[in-house]
Chain A
Amino acid sequence: MALSTLVKKYMKLIKKQIPLAIVFIFGVLTLASYYVPHKISVNYIEMMNKWENIVAAFAFLLGLFSLFFSHYHKISRKVDGWGYSIFVFVGFLAMVIPAFMSEGKQSTPAGATLLGWAFRYIYNALSATMFAVLAFYIVSTAYRSFRIKSLQAFVLFVAAFLLILGKVPLGQIIWDSVLGWTGAGVDQVIEWVMSVPAVAGKRGIMIGISIGAIVTSFKIIFGIERQYMGKD
């Protein structure tokens, strides 16, 4: 009985108290470093950044193994869409083999290496394609938001419509012919929308976010928020 109590206490120390103490000490030290410009403080922050990079490097390997195992299982079990998993390995080899062959260099005085070629004609091309798709999604999402379902959607529609109107010459002509008598140009209206209501809304959100971030940090530093460690 006494032994089990001792083991429980030991486990609590290992699983709860020590991690919480580490979080508290390093949280307070990092917070204090904002106010302390001393060399010790600067060195401490540099050391923490190095540690973060080291942990990230090992974690990346972990992620890579997780990815490969997951897709290997999909292929070996022939689950739905297993063919796509082959492309994970194909894509990986398509970049890694040229990287080894070119000793990690993208270009030499003689010109682009195989890695440079793969980077330019495979990786960059695919990334650019994906980014370009965004334009089509913006159109479809704009269409959805222009279906006015609520007052907020109406406000969004009016602001977006004004911006579109002001950015195209045809819109400016329409504005001048219909609302030219008001004396206010569409560009002035846009400038007001962008610099008054838009900035006010943005700042409101930013203030809320900043205070929320401070409070969340306190919750973690002082051990109030400990969901990441599980319950007691």
Chain B
Amino acid sequence: MLKWNVRPADTPDVTYQIYVSSMETGGWIKADEFAADARTGKDIDLPFWAWEVSAKEHAVKVELSNFYGSAQSTGALFHFKVTAVKDNNSYDSQVVSAKTVSNWFRLDRVNNLVLLIVIIIIFFWAVSHAKRKGLFIRRIAGLDAIDEAIGRATEMGKPIYYVPGIGGMSSISTIASAFILGEVSKKVAQYDSQIKVPHYDPIVMTVCKEVVKQAFLEAGRPDSYREDINQFISQDQFSYAASVDGMISREKPAAVFFMGYFMAESLLMAEVGATSGAIQIAGTDVESQLPFFFTACDYTLIGEELYAAGAYLSKEPMLLSALKVQDFGKLLVMVSVFFGIILVAIGAKLHWDPFVEGILNLFKAY
């Protein structure tokens, strides 16, 4: 960050040019250019606790990695100069040299860190609380219908399809889907029904194989487990959708689960499932696909319900306690929004601009 004082001569017809060089002499690269009456400390988008807002200083952030690459721009000595240009005449400042040093902490993300610490404290409080006494968890119709769907499949002697979507293992919805698959597989094994899991991602397939195998083992039916329950289909979105559609059309499953991350293929698959007459239960955190699932499926889990499903089905107190944390988190957001609105409205009405700016800083991600 380069800073220098604003002068009375900084009028719009004066232009500042920022030059940077990695060499002792010459090699100057023009890093930035702006009118002299612009770019003060007020224009830097940082919160009040990380940056002293001042209109009396010019402040320019020079992104060295754009000119020298991220590897070379750390730890090296760089030279800077500012050139003022007016009426084709230019005036160079003194050359300033500085060695770049990596920071150990992003001060602008303190608000985020505080929120994280608060959630961690609530998290551990809820977990310890769960050990002492039970928690009330509201019923989720979509999850209660899982037993009905598996029972129907068993009675009809038809398979169940579990579609984990097109997300990778780093997607939270896919992780949540793997947890639900474990519980669904356990019930399938208990009822001695059939389950088929077509996969888009081979890593997800590998994880799901272990999850299903473990579920069959826990249900006391390791003999019923088959390696082809989990099957890799394709890592192409529409090839995957076409293949799953084909399987659903031919085999007419009694129940289809769509749990995980979905994009345009959501309706392609859910509509075929609906046409085949299967009970369909869907869950995703992609809000743009939720309307398609709402219209084509019997039950739909919305975002957070998908994350809660594993805990809800397993009924483990430790896992259920985490649901309380979600509720506390939402309460925290609601309270923050409520008081934030009031404070900002009062500040705006009374023209307390720094106060309003400060409140907005608190809720902004940097």
Are A231 and B179 interface neighbours, CB within 8 A?
A: no
- Min CB–CB distance B156 → chain A (angstroms): 17
Given A35-B113, A218-B322, are A227 and B310 also a contact pair (CB < 8 Å)?
yes
User: How far is A229 from B75 in the complex, measured between Cα atoms in Å?
Assistant: 43
- Nearest residue (CB) in B for A145 is B295
Q: Give the chain B neighbours of A211 by CB distance below 8 A.
A: 304, 326, 329-330, 333
Are A134 and B182 interface neighbours, CB within 8 A?
A: no
Q: Give the chain B neighbours of A216 by CB distance below 8 A.
A: 172, 175-176, 307, 322
A107 at the interface (CB under 8 A from B): no
A213 at the interface (CB under 8 A from B): yes
B211 at the interface (CB under 8 A from A): yes
Residues of chain A from 160 to 175 with CB closer than 8 A to chain B in the complex: none
Looking at A5-13, A53-61, A181-189, the stretch in contact with chain B turns out to be A53-61
A78 at the interface (CB under 8 A from B): no
B138 at the interface (CB under 8 A from A): no
- Nearest residue (CB) in B for A64 is B232
Looking at B15-23, B40-48, B140-148, B197-205, the stretch in contact with chain A turns out to be B197-205
- Min CB–CB distance A210 → chain B (angstroms): 9
- Min CB–CB distance B162 → chain A (angstroms): 15
Q: Give the chain A neighbours of B241 by CB distance below 8 A.
A: 130
Given A213-B285, A215-B307, are A131 and B290 also a contact pair (CB < 8 Å)?
no
Q: A39: which of B102, B127, B274, B319 is its contact (CB, 8 Å)?
A: B102
Write the B313-339 contact mask toward A (1 if CB under 8 angstroms, else 0): 010001100110110011001000000
Residues of chain A from 209 to 224 with CB closer than 8 A to chain B in the complex: 209, 211-220, 222, 224
- Nearest residue (CB) in A for B274 is A144
Residues of chain B from 59 to 80 with CB closer than 8 A to chain A in the complex: 70, 74-75
Given A81-B250, A215-B326, are A137 and B268 also a contact pair (CB < 8 Å)?
yes
Q: A230: which of B103, B176, B201, B214 is its contact (CB, 8 Å)?
A: B214
Are B231 and A70 interface neighbours, CB within 8 A?
A: yes
User: How far is A198 from B208 in the complex, measured between Cα atoms in Å?
Assistant: 36
Are B179 and A63 interface neighbours, CB within 8 A?
A: no
Q: B295: which of A35, A61, A142 is its contact (CB, 8 Å)?
A: A142
A90 at the interface (CB under 8 A from B): no
Q: Give the chain A neighbours of B87 by CB distance below 8 A.
A: none
Listed by A's residue number, 10 A-B pairs whose Cβ atoms lie within 8 Å are: A34-B109, A35-B105, A37-B103, A38-B103, A62-B205, A62-B232, A67-B231, A70-B231, A126-B242, A225-B322
Question: Could you list which residues of chain B lie within 8 angstroms of chain A, going by C-beta atoms?
Answer: 70, 74-75, 102-106, 109, 112-113, 116, 119-120, 123, 127, 168, 170, 172, 175-176, 178-179, 182, 199, 201-203, 205-207, 210-211, 214, 217-218, 228, 230-236, 238-239, 241-242, 246, 250, 264, 267-268, 270-271, 274-275, 285, 287, 290-292, 294-296, 302-304, 306-308, 310-311, 314, 318-319, 322-323, 325-326, 329-330, 333
6 additional contacts (CB under 8 A) given A39-B74, A211-B330, A218-B123: A35-B112, A36-B104, A56-B202, A61-B202, A209-B303, A216-B176
Question: Could you list which residues of chain A lie within 8 angstroms of chain B, going by C-beta atoms?
Answer: 31, 34-40, 42, 52, 55-56, 59-64, 66-67, 70, 73, 80-81, 84, 126-127, 130-131, 133-134, 137-138, 140-142, 144-145, 156, 202, 205-209, 211-220, 222, 224-225, 227-228, 230-231
Closest 3 CB pairs of A and B: A63-B202, A63-B232, A212-B304
